[in-house]
Structure formats: C-alpha cells, structure tokens
C-alpha cells in the first residue's frame, strides 16, 4: 500500500457518534463513568483509547481536554492550557519513542468544517504502522512573516500555506519552553475565531516532529477550495502583512 493511503473501516465509521451538527445527540465524553481503556490521566485531562477504531494498522487515542463540554482552547486559563500542552506532548513523545509506529499524528479539530464529529474539546494522538505522515511535507510550509519570537520559539504567518489563506506556524528551536508554545497556540486560535473573519468558526491544530524539533500549524477551516482538492493548488492571500500587523497590535502591544 502506498505511503499515504490508509485503510478506513466504513462499518465502524457509520456508527460513530456526531454532535457538532446533530447538537441534540448525547456527548460520549461528558459521563466519565462510562469511559474505558484509560491510558493516562492528570486532573481533568484524560487520554483514552478511541472506541471507534476506524483506521487500519493504527493506535487511535483521544485526549479529552476538559470536563466542560462547551469550552474551547482559546478560553482556557493559563494553568490549564499549560497542563494540556505538556500532557499532550508527553504522551505524543511516549508513543513516538515506542518505535512501534512509522509515524505518530497529534492534532486537534474544532468546529463544523474541521473534520471532527464531537463538540467536546479533545485532541487525538494516532500511531500509524504503515503510513508516513511526513512523506509529502514541505519544510517551506513552516516559513513565514514573523509575528513574535520568545524563548527560542517563533510565531509566524505562513508564506507557503499548506492549503491556503491565513495559516499560523509555531517553530521551536529547542523544545524547552512548552508554555511559550501554548501561549502562541492560544493566541492563534483566539484570533481565528474572533478576528480573522466573521465566517471562521473552525480550525485545526497539527503538531509535527521534524529533526527532533516541534513544529505546529494552526489553520482556519472553511469549505476547502476545489483548486486544492482537484489540483493541489495552494492559495496565497494578499493580506498576510495585514494579519501580522493586526495580531501584533492585538496581542503584543504593550
């Protein structure tokens, strides 16, 4: 099977719960007494095996971020935010270090266009035995106009977006200051939901480990351009500098 093709179990997928669109459906993460296969736990943070194992040759886990079903990452207190990112990175690295998987995905979906099915705030860590998630990754996608740099962590707006429009990158140079990483992630998600565009209600966060260093991409999600779907044409917005200036003014002006 080619590197970036991954088997998907349709039968299991058709039975997965969904409450982003179907808002009256019960949330599977709210009643913690029903959750099983717990891998790790710290206060409200919970890492469990995904009950709906749709991806073949994989380990699928869900990181439940909070007990509050209606919360969202940009709203978290600093204390909870820092705990979340450290907890997630710790378990991501642990699965990577097991050497059981060719690649390990760590990501978050939020909103109706993000590709997720459950509203309750959560992330996913997925180990893939046969697929290489970095096979088609271009390092240029993490280059951009710098918004801020602190503690060996760079925060920029991508000049080579992976899909298109306003993608934020976070580039770590030593993996030391995860609190700084968390701060930049929170700023990016808050900006996307509140300032970028009135229509933006969805985003993805993707974590990458490149040459041993963490890279993060935060993308707004809309209906995906057919130019990208059909022809892999990436759309480069003409207002990148305006976004950089706006984020600096909003979040970094003293």
- SS3 label, residue 76: coil
Give the pLDDT confidence score for residue 1 in this predicted structure.
41
Q: Average of pLDDT values for 30-45?
A: 95
Give the pLDDT confidence of 204-225 residue by residue, as tens digits.
Answer: 999 999 999 999 999 999 999 9
**29 contacts 35 by C-beta, under 8 angstroms:** yes
Give the pLDDT confidence of 54-112 residue by residue, as tens digits.
Answer: 999 999 999 999 999 999 999 999 999 999 999 999 999 999 999 999 999 999 999 99
The Cβ of residue 5 has, within 10 Å, a number of other Cβ atoms equal to 9
Give the pLDDT confidence score for residue 67 in this predicted structure.
97
Q: How far apart are CA 95 and CA 59, in angstroms?
A: 9
Tokens of 69: 């079903």
Give the pLDDT confidence of 110-135 residue by residue, as tens digits.
Answer: 999 999 999 999 999 999 999 999 98
Q: What is the pTM of this model?
A: 0.96
H or E stretch at 210: strand 203-210
Give the pLDDT confidence score for residue 74 in this predicted structure.
97
For residue 186, what pLDDT band results from cuts at 50, 70 and 90? very high
Give the pLDDT confidence score for residue 231 in this predicted structure.
94
Domains of the chain by range and CATH? 10-128 (3.30.428.10), 139-170+183-200+221-252 (no CATH)
Q: How far apart are CA 66 and CA 132, in angstroms?
A: 30
User: Who contacts 166 (Cβ-Cβ below 8 Å, separation ≥6)?
Assistant: 157, 192, 196, 220, 237, 239, 240, 243
């Amino acid at each position: 099977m080619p590197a970036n093709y991954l088997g998907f179990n349709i039968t299991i997928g058709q039975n997965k719960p969904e409450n982003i669109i179907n808002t009256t459906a019960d949330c599977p993460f709210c009643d913690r007494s029903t959750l099983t296969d717990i891998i790790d736990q710290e206060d409200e943070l919970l890492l469990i095996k995904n009950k709906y194992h749709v991806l073949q040759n994989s380990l699928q886990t869900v990181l439940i971020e909070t007990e509050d079903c209606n919360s969202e990452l940009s709203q978290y207190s600093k204390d909870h935010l820092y705990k979340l990112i450290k907890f997630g990175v710790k378990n991501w690295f642990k699965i990577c270090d097991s050497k059981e998987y060719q690649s390990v995905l760590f990501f978050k979906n939020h909103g109706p266009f993000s590709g997720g099915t459950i509203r309750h705030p959560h992330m996913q860590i997925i180990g893939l035995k046969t697929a290489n998630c970095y096979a088609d990754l271009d390092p240029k996608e993490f280059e951009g106009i710098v918004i801020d740099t602190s503690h060996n962590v760079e925060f920029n707006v991508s000049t080579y977006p992976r899909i298109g429009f306003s993608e934020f990158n976070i580039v770590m140079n030593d993996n030391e200051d995860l609190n700084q990483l968390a701060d930049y992630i929170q700023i990016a998600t808050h900006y996307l939901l509140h300032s970028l565009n009135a229509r933006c209600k969805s985003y993805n966060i993707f974590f990458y480990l490149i040459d041993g260093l963490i890279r993060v991409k935060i993308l707004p999600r809309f209906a995906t351009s057919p130019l990208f779907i059909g022809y892999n044409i990436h759309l480069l917005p003409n207002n990148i500098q305006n976004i950089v200036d706006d984020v600096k003014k909003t979040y970094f002006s003293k």
